[in-house]
Chain A
């Protein structure tokens, strides 16, 4: 889960160490990553093929990963982003810590960052977009035919085995006045894990503008879209798959 916010005027990349200091006790490992471009869900024409948008100004901000020992919990920070991820690095290890626990941690992290920015002389964080993602990975045994209909209810039951799979659906998220504010993406695609083993993935992502641009507004967005993602998970997966996932968890 994460937020995108307006960059604060009094922050520069040289202060990234100070941000790490906020989280360092729990996240003692740091990695540098290329920055994420700003993203915005807007509404009008149907989305066309995206074209690359790379601008080099001579002053860009890296993205930093702050990791817990073991690497399951991860904070991502750059000048306009704060994300908290939980990753299952191996099928047999690490219990999913539940949404309620993660969002509580993320709230504390947003508040801590906002307090830090305030100490630099800035106003509160102004949230421009929120994002919540669930990524499920399904191992595909070597030599076994891939039958996505065993996992996904939107694939015809008589679909012959296939080699590669790629399917995306988007839903518009609307407020109580039917005005659009975000989208729910469902992506299913074949790929490989870090060890080269074939996977089928189901990625459910809700992304959009919160009703209020505050931390509380972001929390409301994450809470509400969490239920939308859960509903879509139930809609998009077969009963058999849901049973198998329960067993895996």
Chain B
């Protein structure tokens, strides 16, 4: 585990013999390597998108940019709880991509044009006419959208492109 990943203050080994100091009780136990339900399908999809052939759309579109893929993955880690269903991910014609979730009542779409350039749109019972925002690297608002979607009793489903 990387130093950055583990924010716990860790005293790994104690050299003291005789008087053993009492270590603090653990406040939490971290198991595994960050398992998430959406990880594998998202990774496979992103990998396929950066390997699209030049002109995959018949009009000269490039594959999705590697920097867009890295940013998208980091964005998803900021907004997807571990048991979240994988989103639909659709390539754009300018090396960009769009991330989508759809439920019977809610749609969330995140258009990643480039790192730090995301158009976020949703339609839900609370905003039936839809709302759209321009985002950079702060996805707290989208996290709230996701929580609202997951809390409405409908399982999020990824739709076909």
Closest partner residue, chain B, to A145 (CB atom): B15
Interface-facing stretch out of A16-24, A50-58, A97-105, A238-246: A50-58
**A42 cross-chain contacts in B, Cβ below 8 A:** 71, 74-75, 77-78, 137-139
Which positions 3-41 of chain B face chain A at CB distance < 8 Å? Answer: 3-7, 9-16, 21, 30, 32-34, 36, 39
Q: Counting CB contacts under 8 A, is A32 at the interface?
A: no
B67 touches A128 (CB 8 A): yes
A153 to B33, CA, bound (A): 32
Per-position 1/0 for B55-96, Cβ under 8 A of A: 000000000011101110111011111100000000000000
Shortest C-beta distance, A57 to chain B (Å), equals 6
Interface string of A1-29 (1 = CB under 8 A from B): 00000110000000000000000000000
B115 nearest in chain A by CB position:
A128
Q: Interface size bucket, A side?
A: 35 or more
* Contact sample, A vs B, 8 pairs, CB 8 Å cutoff: A7-B66, A43-B139, A43-B140, A44-B139, A48-B34, A55-B46, A162-B13, A162-B14
Is B155's CB within 8 Å of the partner chain A?
no
Whole-angstrom CA separation of A42 from B66 in the bound complex: 17
20 new A-B contacts, CB < 8 A, other than A6-B114, A44-B142, are: A37-B70, A38-B67, A38-B70, A39-B74, A42-B71, A42-B139, A44-B138, A47-B77, A48-B82, A49-B1, A49-B33, A50-B2, A51-B33, A128-B115, A160-B21, A162-B14, A166-B9, A167-B9, A167-B10, A209-B116
- B12 with A43: CB separation less than 8 A: no
A-binding residues in B (CB < 8 A):
1-7, 9-16, 21, 30, 32-34, 36, 39, 43, 46-47, 50-51, 65-67, 69-71, 73-75, 77-82, 114-116, 136-140, 142-143
Q: How far is the CB of B15 from chain A (nearest CB, A)?
A: 5
Least Cβ distance of A125 to chain B in Å?
A: 13
Answer whether residue A165 sits at the interface, using C-beta atoms and an 8 A cutoff: yes
Is the pair B69, A55 in contact by a Cβ cutoff of 8 Å? yes
Tell me whether A179 is interfacial, beta carbon within 8 Å: yes
Query: Nearest chain B CB to A12's CB is how many angstroms away?
Result: 14
Which of B3, B32, B46 meets A168, CB within 8 Å?
A: B3
For the complex, is A161 an interface residue (Cβ under 8 Å from B)?
Answer: yes
